[in-house]
Structure 1
Amino acid sequence: MPLTVLLVDDEPLVRAGLRAVLEAQPDIEVVGEAADGAAVVPLVRELRPDVVAMDVRMPLLDGIEATRAVLRTVDRPPKILVVTTFENDEYVYGALRAGADGFLLKRARPAEIVHAVRLVAAGDSLLFPAAVRRLAAEYGTSAARTALERAALTEREGEVLRRMARGLSNAEIAADLVVGTETVKSHVSAVLAKLGARDRTQAVIAAYESGFVTPS
């Protein structure tokens, strides 16, 4: 089964470029397009894509609100990859905080676009650039620090979270800590449960906002 993608961007040329890059891959299929976030929920329900490549700035409904709508109203929602022009855009951080799973610059090379879609679909690593990490740290709150303290992560869970924040995959974390991949998966699941996080991105945002991890 191919990996299916829905493209959402108000610029036809951007959609055409992404479609050309992705459909050149034998294992990826673009199943639909939308010019605004307002069309996303109906299309996701109809097409059931694995990944939504979502522009963050659109005229009617932006990528932040569209992301929230998908996660709030769709059963088994797809992964959401934020696509934007500027990596230090606060809209990008807002979309990630709302539940998007990764981040891609519109000027990315074709190989980077394909890699980003596959990485987000797999769900065991992060696309979380340094600029957005700094934004997360700047938005840190005492509430975030308190929430992470209450999570009472074990020492090993903390080690895993720090490596998640660096964008390491489960296999890379396992190699770094000299443990099995299944052990890492168990620790990741425990971290997400304790933090009340939907996915790795939400856990890493909590780590930066709380000051548990600081941008290097």
Structure 2
Amino acid sequence: MQIRVLVAEDVDLLRETLVALLDLEDDIEVVASIATGDRIVPEALAHGPDVALLDVDLPGTDGLTAAAELRERLPSCSVLVLTGLATRRSRGRALAVGVSGFLIKDGPADDLVDAVRRIARGERVFAEPA
């Protein structure tokens, strides 16, 4: 099974690195790569990803607001939040909007790839904030 992923990250270097990392995997295909939150839902509707990998702090629309809208408009797309804003508040807000995963940016790359696969299988993955 090919896992289709949308990546939303406003830092160019990080977004390009995430795309390159995921593209190394035989079972993962990045179908959209965007820098602003207001593009998340339109791109997801156009490309039908299985997993949306979203930063929280995005220009336009924040990642958690977009995640809530994705849940409504494209329920087949699971959301994995990847954030540097790892607080109990941001994790709680992520849980409240129904995301499937919450990871911290300073974690190992293997954890991210594993989380994408697990979330695509319907599991939930949540790192503990500091």
Query: What residue number does 2:65 align with?
Result: 65
- Write out aligned runs for 1:35-184 (5 A): 35-74=35-74, 76-88=75-87, 90-124=89-123, 126-131=124-129
TM-score (ref. length: structure 2)? 0.90
C-alpha distance in structure 2 between counterparts of 1:59 and 1:66, whole Å: 11
Q: Identify the structure with the greater helix proportion.
A: 1
Matches within 5 A, 1:189-208: none
Match of 1:10? 10
Matched-pair identity in %: 34
User: Contact (CA 8 Å) 2:91, 2:129: kept in 1 or not?
Assistant: no
Bigger strand fraction: 2
Q: Distance in 2 between matches of 1:33 and 1:81?
A: 14
Instruction: Report the count of equivalent residues.
Output: 130
The offset of 1:120, in angstroms, is 1.1
Per-residue deviation, 1:113: 1.2
- Segments of 5+ residues of structure 2 without an aligned counterpart are none
1:128-179: per-residue Cα shift (whole Å, max 9, x none)?
23338xxxxxxxxxxxxxxxxxxxxxxxxxxxxxxxxxxxxxxxxxxxxxxx
Q: Quick check: which has more Rg, 1 or 2?
A: 1
Query: Relative contact order: is structure 1 or structure 2 higher (C-alpha 8 Å, sep ≥ 6)?
Result: 2
Partners of 1:56 and 1:92 within 8 A in 2: no
Judge which range, 90-99 or 107-116, deviates more: 90-99
For 1:130 and 1:83, the matched residues in 2 are separated by: 12
Query: Secondary structure in 2 aligned to 1:20?
Result: helix
| TM-score normalised according to structure 1 size | 0.56
Contact residue 81 and residue 101 of structure 2 kept, 8 A: yes
For the aligned residues, what is the CA RMSD? 1.6
Provide structure 1 residue ranges, at least 5 long, that are not aligned to the other structure: 133-216
Distance 1:73 1:26 in 2: 28
The SS at the match of 2:81 is strand
